[in-house]
Amino acid sequence: MKHILIASITSLVLFSSPIMAQTGVSLSGPTHDTQQPVQVTADNLTVQQASNSAIFEGNAKVAQGVVRFGADKITVHYDATGKTVSDIVANGGVVFTNGAESAEAQNANFNVNSNMVILTGNVLLLQGSNAISGDTLRLNLTTNQATVSGNVKTVISPN
């Protein structure tokens, strides 16, 4: 099971200026090796062949190299063949980290076909002492760009 979501979602921006931090977020995802094995753990796994989905519940975690992704519930949807992931939905206590940067939200949805990730609900991005929060974070993994919207707040350290 390949999760491109893990590949880029947690490689967050170094906020170099207040203007950039307020208008958008640039990601540094290309440094992640998507060819590494993916490990998924959870308290429970339910496979629903009729709907081509797998539901990981209870302390669900996905790891690939240094990149980690966790949530209360992670649902992986497959195409009709059951071989290709079409989208991944995470609910409850969503956390992404690459060791240095992290993102938190209540929910996340990754559409593999559009290569877009949408985080919603108390979104918080952290890199060192810099932070940005908002209602919604839209990540385009193709262009390596992100936009935070709704009640956006930033904290940028001068160092």
Are the beta carbons of 128 and 21 closer than 8 angstroms? no
The pLDDT of residue 97 is above 90: no
Domain that holds residue 22: 4-155
The model's pTM is 0.74
Higher pLDDT, 69 or 104: 104
Q: What is the pLDDT of residue 151?
A: 94
Cα separation of 28 and 9, whole Å? 9
What average pLDDT does the segment 62-87 reach? 86
Instruction: Please state the φ and ψ torsions of residue 30, each to the nearest 5 degrees.
Output: -60, -15
As a whole number, the mean pLDDT across the chain is 76
DSSP state, 48?
E
CATH of the domain at 93: 2.60.450.10
The CA distance from 100 to 35, in Å, is 21
Which carries the bigger pLDDT value, residue 86 or residue 56? Answer: 56
Give the chain's domain count. 1
